[in-house]
Amino acid sequence: MSSYIGKVLLSSIGILISRIFGLIRDISIAAYFGATALTDIFFVAFAIPNLFRQFFVEGAISSAFMPFLTEKFKIGGHKMQNAYLTQLIVVQTFIISVITLIIIFLADYVIILFVPGFVENKEILKEGANLLRIVMPFLLLISFSGLLSGFLNFNNSYFVPYVSSALFNIAMILGAWLGYKDSGNIYYLAYGTILGGFLQALLIFSVSLIYGYKPIFFNKIDKAIKQTYLLIVPSIAGVSISQLNFLIGRVLASYLAVGSISWLFYSNRVFQFPLGVLAVAVGTVSLTELSKAYINNDVDKRVSLIDKSVLTLFIAIIPATIGLYMLSTDIIKLIFYRNNFTELDLINTASALRMYSVGLIFFSFINLFTKVFHSKKDTKTPVKAAFIGFVLNVILNLILMNYLAHAGIALASSISAFFNAMFLYIFIKDYSLDISKYKVLLIKVILSNLLLIGLIMVLKHIELNVLLIILFSIIFYFGCLYSLKVNVLKLLR
């Protein structure tokens, strides 16, 4: 098996394990707490540290420091790499500590910015501010984990960084259960967030030591740290715009029916499952490998890697999109429909999932193409693309929510993702997919997906259990590819 495919598979397995526990976490929250004003405000409070997490962990910083990490190793091996990483951890911890303290101090005002539609509900806003004060330190823990995860990725360890978040999800599951036992006390969920973040950081730090990381104390800040943060500035702008799309959705949802924020959260969590298992794995591996190819000026390898990534996403994400759209109600019913999660919650969550699902392939390509630009230290172009998508998303939100309520907010995200992805692809100056080279393959994949649609329609008509439909669909789809002589592993090797 090729190195690239092996890394993607290891990443995907790690993410899959984590996402399974994440799904159990969401099932627990839905069953124990349902979709109420209280869950709405918890999800908003939880979203605030996660908003900054995108800046300092999974978005801007991770893309900016990987090329420097590669350069430091090439120049001075692990010693120079460890010195750079230690300095980055110290500087970032200081920055995030300041941000965390400010938000904790101003929590009563910050929470209103995110849910202006709740402004008359003083009791819920107070609960939201208290929850925010508890969960905000999670940002410090996950930032530390994120930097060391980049170090592990560089050293070809992809499984541990992803599977580590299973510990976080397990801690939140425990919190949900304790909260349910204590008459629906949602504060246990917040405490579970902090416990989970600590366990995740501890595991990643321990494994990093095994892979050769040693903190190196210093008297002077390396100029590469400054260069890293200068590179982050436009990247943060891009991530900020991307996150503003979701933020705008939550803000507008606060003006809709109670539970709208929760319906969007639950549906987005299901939507993120296939997106995370493959698209994020492909993007993460691609960033590391593309950075190495760019530093070594290996143009052929760079083009080959992007080709592999695009084809991998096309082959896997299209059938996932079909499944999410056609089986949305059945999937939400299977996952969430129990205890305090009502039939109204089922209907509204499924409608949002359908709207999110149509944008799955475009969100996947955004993640990949952004990594392509970041691998060559171009953080400005993704910002331009994100800004175009943001403006369009705001306009579409205001229009579609009047007709489709919260589902219109989900659809607006999907449509804006299409234009964002197209802009990024057009402006990758040194790459374009050779359609003629892969024409036969693409036709076979499209045909297989059309046959898949027919199969799902038949299986739904005979009212087969949704788990069996999913199982038979996966077997059927890859069987179609095989019968059409499409060997996925051989193709991508």
408-438 pLDDT tens trace: 999 999 999 999 999 999 988 778 888 888 8
Share of the chain above pLDDT 70, in %: 88
Whether the predicted pLDDT of 443 surpasses 90: yes
CA atoms within 13 A on the CB side of 91: 21
- Cβ-based burial of 109 (10 A; exposed 0-12, middle 13-18, buried ≥19): exposed
- Structure-token pair, residue 394: 């705001």
Q: What pLDDT, in 10s, does the model give residues 119-138? A: 888 999 999 999 999 999 99
Report the alpha-carbon distance of residue 369 to residue 420 in Å, rounded: 10
DSSP state of 337: -
Query: Region 214-241: what's the mean pLDDT?
Result: 73
The pLDDT of residue 280 is 61
Mean pLDDT lowest among 4-13, 196-205, 358-367, 471-480? 4-13
| Residue labelled with tokens 């539609």 | 117
Report the alpha-carbon distance of residue 356 to residue 136 in Å, rounded: 28
The pLDDT of residue 1 is 45
DSSP state of 117: G
Residues in the chain: 493
Close Cβ partners of 261 (under 8 Å, ≥ 6 residues apart):
39, 40, 43, 44, 115, 250, 253, 254
For the chain, which residues make up each domain, given as ranges? Answer: 3-433
- Structure-token pair, residue 311: 């084809």
User: Could you tell me the pTM of the whole model?
Assistant: 0.80
Of the candidates 310, 250, 244, 237, the one whose C-alpha atom is nearest the C-alpha of residue 279 is 310
Report the alpha-carbon distance of residue 365 to residue 372 in Å, rounded: 10
Highest mean pLDDT among 182-186, 295-299, 484-488: 182-186
- Structure-token pair, residue 280: 């994020």
Close Cβ partners of 188 (under 8 Å, ≥ 6 residues apart):
175, 176, 178, 179, 182
183 vs 105, more confident: 105
Q: What pLDDT, in 10s, does the model give residues 313-342? A: 889 899 999 999 999 999 999 999 998 999
257 vs 76, more confident: 257
| Residue labelled with tokens 């420097």 | 68
Report the alpha-carbon distance of residue 215 to residue 82 in Å, rounded: 6
Report the alpha-carbon distance of residue 266 to residue 407 in Å, rounded: 12
Of the chain, the end-to-end C-alpha distance in Å amounts to 7
Q: What pLDDT, in 10s, does the model give residues 23-77? A: 899 999 999 999 999 999 999 999 889 877 766 665 556 666 777 777 777 787 7
Query: Region 175-179: what's the mean pLDDT?
Result: 95
Q: Are 400 and 351 in contact (CB under 8 A)?
A: no
Q: What pLDDT, in 10s, does the model give residues 258-269? A: 999 999 999 998
